[in-house]
Chains A and B, each alone.
Chain A
């Protein structure tokens, strides 16, 4: 006999919890149930380093007593525990203060159709198969250059899961998704020291995952080129962001466009809707329906339809990222951007958030720089979302007369995000999705670089 609960049972379980909450006096409620399984293999120096296998489940309940609300989550699905859990959640809601804006989305707003978005691949990998993929990736990294002498290891992960959302307005939706990833972190050394970098592939479909050989080779290319890095003198210069770090500029934009940051006064983009925040050639989309996308989902964390929307259109800020609550606070409708951790009230987040590629090849962008910085890594958290002030540790390459002259490290780049978006000078053609957020190579006219 198996204790695995079938899909039917989870929607029944969700309905059951809604009924129990109602019986305890809740005026509205929603339930989210998630379960999934993961197999993670890490190898190092050609042998298995760590093998992790797990199946887990979790259930989140949010209840409303009029305008008071609380959320809770548990991994214990036994009948007695759940009865106590519903009671405790209801008690918690009655301990907080009334919030006139709180509540579920109105009936009639919910997603009605659940198109197939190609986000679930039922392929089940065997443990040995994943070990083999990880070993091949690390081997490819070593084979690509003799200066790779050590490794932080290679990793192959597969996971799948499903999410069920139900609420007391009658919404019931569910979807399954999967993810396959492969990565390696080689270490290269020379007389002067060691450098490490990393490369990865990730996809919802196993068949589309990049080959171990391609990932290993790219990881080594990124690592060995950092050897011999040095500082540069403090100066102001143009800065070119490679696609990996350019994505972080979009990620800060998402944070600044979050309805929660905006209504709390904690964003540097307050009141900028409709304003020109970047040059005319900058257009940014958030697309929740992109087939196979890592941020794709048929409905958001409140059950509203996701969509493709322009966030920045020809440089003009055209949309915030809102859920029902933060939308109401700003006097606007939800943009279907509710994201949800199990047992938390909604927050907002991007789906597949990307900058439309430009027409200039990345090599041509580098060639356009006489003296400047090509950034490939950023570390640290020196970003003030309230003011947009930006200062982060950077490493990459110094550009001289359009060529990468030498690797640099232990420097910072600083500016203000508002000015940085306005200072975008060129966008590359090289848009590739490796996560929810994707950006081509981007050149900024000027930033302050602190070094020697």
Chain B
């Protein structure tokens, strides 16, 4: 038994015997697979505005989700009580889809692998660090942003931290637990000059603690970056509208990959043949300079996990190799139904939600171009370095994402900053337009949250500087 698993069991106050009995109730003969997912989650948020750390909130939740799958069907129930009686009621409810008599024999859970690695070891989780230490950090951020430029009129900053303990027991006889810390610092500045008000934001974090932000006074950089973006936007001109070449900077612009192709490669959409990528395995979907992976094994990253929410160790999955579509990201249900490998991407927001195949950290590998040369290659276009959110329609493959910091490129030179513009394209087509990939791969700062079927999970993205020959830019200047 690993330290994490032992901690989890003690936390839930459930015995092995009770787990095995509940699994026995749900894993009747017609059920292909069943699991129990126990979760305890404590989160805390402190936030500041107008120079005062005035809000603090805390949330504590625990419960169990019980799931049974029969063919393509899933039966699911959850409870915020963990008594044997509640476990059994949930097991009975999940079993409803099986259409067969109650199970009696317990399922023995004998396979209890130690975690092969710990991607986010912590001496002391943030939740045990005094709240006033986070308050001090926020106060320093406020002072730094206002010092940066007197045109900064308001600073809003929030520190969110989460401490999640999970334990999953499956009808395969597997039991594994994990402790998953997650923290994020977000700063927003509003700048004002002659009645022109603009906003700038910067955030980051991961499966790390307060010391990450304190190291080399990294939090001051957060304040400076948010302030810099707000001030920059004071002089932004209207964004152009129409088709043009676009250079994306490294890091967070990797959200392009997440929206344009990542969702389309999630196994559930492909099993149901509702994805624009459903028939494209083995086909060219990107230019040869593009290799894209999903990797849940990067230490301390926001999208990383030791094991996914079905107990499968996370892995590195090649999605696109030199332009060819190689694979999908899977959970157990979809891997079984499609007859393809389990990649360790079965994730859920909480015990109250079902497992879906989801991305972890999705990024493009570095290429060979010099980032400066990529910019120089564009006669008239857009250089986008930071983005807000994005969205995709899986079925027709159309995606959008919105720039929060972007510049015009004129004759190979970065010139004026432009106001936020939305980029829109088609997932299966856009990566064919990538003609240059920089050698400067950068992962994002750790701010991404992905939504699917109403469930939010933390994710990461990454990108080197790339040139897209043609994409539609949705500005106001036609």
Give the interface of A toward B (CB within 8 A). Answer: 3, 44, 47-58, 69-76, 85, 88-89, 91-93, 95-99, 102, 127, 150, 152, 187, 193-196, 226, 229, 231, 234-236, 264-266, 270, 343-345, 377, 379-382, 384, 386-387, 389, 391-393, 395, 409-416, 448-452
Q: Is the CB of B80 within 8 A of A56?
A: yes
Cα–Cα distance between A76 and B59 once the two chains are bound (Å)? 11
Q: Is B398 an interface residue (CB 8 A)?
A: yes
Least distance between A93 CB and chain B CB atoms (Å): 7
The contact of A102 among B54, B72, B401, B419, by CB within 8 Å, is B54
Known pairs A382-B388, A382-B400, A412-B472; A96 contacts B478 (CB<8 A): no
Q: Is B192 an interface residue (CB 8 A)?
A: yes
Q: Could you say which residues of chain A place their CB within 8 Å of the CB of B60?
A: 72-76, 85
Q: Could you say which residues of chain B place their CB within 8 Å of the CB of A71?
A: 55-58
Contact with A along B21-64 (1 / 0, CB 8 A): 00000000000000000000000101001101111111111110
Q: Could you say which residues of chain A place their CB within 8 Å of the CB of B391?
A: 379-381, 393
Main secondary structure of the interface of A (DSSP, over half): strand
Known pairs A93-B56, A96-B135; A54 contacts B77 (CB<8 A): yes
Q: Is the CB of B49 within 8 A of A264?
A: yes
Cα–Cα distance between A47 and B73 once the two chains are bound (Å)? 8
Q: Is the CB of A450 within 8 A of B473?
A: yes
Q: Could you say which residues of chain A place their CB within 8 Å of the CB of B364?
A: none
Return 23 A-B CB contacts under 8 Å, by A number. A51-B76, A52-B78, A54-B77, A74-B60, A74-B61, A89-B58, A91-B131, A127-B96, A150-B272, A150-B273, A152-B272, A229-B396, A231-B472, A343-B59, A379-B391, A381-B391, A391-B422, A393-B474, A409-B396, A410-B425, A448-B475, A448-B478, A450-B475
Interface residues in B69-86 (C-beta closer than 8 Å to A): 72-81
Interface contacts (Cβ under 8 Å), in number, total 260
Q: Is B319 an interface residue (CB 8 A)?
A: no
Q: Could you say which residues of chain B place their CB within 8 Å of the CB of A415?
A: 476
Cα–Cα distance between A194 and B273 once the two chains are bound (Å)? 10
Known pairs A75-B61, A265-B190, A391-B476; A414 contacts B56 (CB<8 A): no
Known pairs A395-B398, A448-B241; A75 contacts B62 (CB<8 A): yes
Known pairs A92-B58, A97-B53; A194 contacts B276 (CB<8 A): yes
Q: Could you say which residues of chain B place their CB within 8 Å of the CB of A193?
A: 276, 396
Least distance between A380 CB and chain B CB atoms (Å): 4
Q: Could you say which residues of chain B place their CB within 8 Å of the CB of A150?
A: 272-274
Instruction: Add 10 more A-B contacts to A50-B75, A51-B96 (CB < 8 A).
Output: A54-B79, A91-B131, A99-B54, A187-B274, A229-B396, A379-B393, A382-B388, A393-B424, A449-B241, A450-B242
Q: Could you say which residues of chain A place their CB within 8 Å of the CB of B392?
A: 379
Q: Is the CB of B54 within 8 A of A384?
A: no
Q: Could you say which residues of chain A place their CB within 8 Å of the CB of B131?
A: 91-92, 95-96
Cα–Cα distance between A234 and B395 once the two chains are bound (Å)? 24
Least distance between A385 CB and chain B CB atoms (Å): 8
The contact of B424 among A127, A343, A412, by CB within 8 Å, is A412
Q: Is the CB of B272 within 8 A of A72?
A: no
Least distance between A166 CB and chain B CB atoms (Å): 19
Q: Is the CB of A95 within 8 A of B426?
A: no
Contact with A along B462-478 (1 / 0, CB 8 A): 00000000001111111
Q: Is B130 an interface residue (CB 8 A)?
A: yes
Q: Is the CB of B274 within 8 A of A409?
A: no
Cα–Cα distance between A37 and B154 once the two chains are bound (Å)? 42
The contact of A380 among B190, B354, B402, by CB within 8 Å, is B402
Give the interface of B toward A (CB within 8 A). Answer: 44, 46, 49-50, 52-63, 72-81, 93, 96-97, 130-132, 135, 153-154, 156, 190, 192, 197-199, 239, 241-243, 272-274, 276, 352, 354, 388-396, 398-402, 419-422, 424-426, 472-478
Closest to A72 in B: B58
Q: Is the CB of B56 within 8 A of A92?
A: yes
Cα–Cα distance between A57 and B86 once the two chains are bound (Å)? 14
Q: Could you say which residues of chain B place their CB within 8 Å of the CB of A344?
A: 57
Known pairs A95-B130, A391-B239, A393-B398; A52 contacts B198 (CB<8 A): no
Q: Is the CB of B402 within 8 A of A391?
A: yes
Closest to A415 in B: B476
Q: Is the CB of B422 within 8 A of A343?
A: no
Q: Is the CB of A414 within 8 A of B422?
A: yes
The contact of B422 among A98, A377, A382, by CB within 8 Å, is A382
The contact of B198 among A152, A195, A387, by CB within 8 Å, is A387
Least distance between A138 CB and chain B CB atoms (Å): 13
Q: Is the CB of B276 within 8 A of A99?
A: no
The contact of B199 among A85, A89, A266, by CB within 8 Å, is A266
Known pairs A382-B400, A391-B239; A96 contacts B53 (CB<8 A): yes
The contact of A386 among B74, B132, B197, by CB within 8 Å, is B197
Cα–Cα distance between A58 and B63 once the two chains are bound (Å)? 12
Give the 10 A-B CB pairs with smallest separation, nearest first: A412-B474, A393-B400, A380-B400, A382-B402, A196-B395, A381-B389, A450-B241, A382-B422, A95-B131, A72-B58
Q: Is the CB of A56 within 8 A of B472?
A: no
Q: Could you say which residues of chain B place their CB within 8 Å of the CB of A74?
A: 59-61
Least distance between A313 CB and chain B CB atoms (Å): 26
Q: Could you say which residues of chain A place their CB within 8 Å of the CB of B243?
A: 234, 452
Known pairs A92-B131, A381-B402, A412-B400; A266 contacts B190 (CB<8 A): yes
Cα–Cα distance between A177 and B327 once the two chains are bound (Å)? 46
Cα–Cα distance between A3 and B89 once the two chains are bound (Å)? 13
Cα–Cα distance between A194 and B391 once the two chains are bound (Å)? 18
Q: Could you say which residues of chain B place their CB within 8 Å of the CB of A377?
A: 393
Least distance between B231 CB and chain A CB atoms (Å): 14
Least distance between A161 CB and chain B CB atoms (Å): 14
Cα–Cα distance between A75 and B73 once the two chains are bound (Å)? 29
Q: Could you say which residues of chain A place their CB within 8 Å of the CB of B242?
A: 234, 450-452
Q: Could you say which residues of chain A place their CB within 8 Å of the CB of B402?
A: 380-382, 391
Q: Is the CB of B130 within 8 A of A414?
A: no
Least distance between B275 CB and chain A CB atoms (Å): 9
Q: Is the CB of B475 within 8 A of A414?
A: yes
Name which of A73, A234, A382, A387 has the most chain B CB atoms within 10 A of its CB.
Answer: A382
Q: Is the CB of A152 within 8 A of B274?
A: yes
Name which of B399, B424, B426 has the most chain A CB atoms within 10 A of its CB.
Answer: B424
Least distance between B206 CB and chain A CB atoms (Å): 23
Closest to A88 in B: B58
Q: Could you say which residues of chain B place their CB within 8 Å of the CB of A265?
A: 153-154, 190, 192, 197
Q: Could you say which residues of chain B place their CB within 8 Å of the CB of A97?
A: 52-54, 135
Q: Could you say which residues of chain A place their CB within 8 Å of the CB of B398?
A: 379, 393, 395, 409-410
Q: Could you say which residues of chain B place their CB within 8 Å of the CB of A392?
A: 400, 422, 474
The contact of A50 among B130, B276, B354, B476, by CB within 8 Å, is B354
Closest to A91 in B: B131
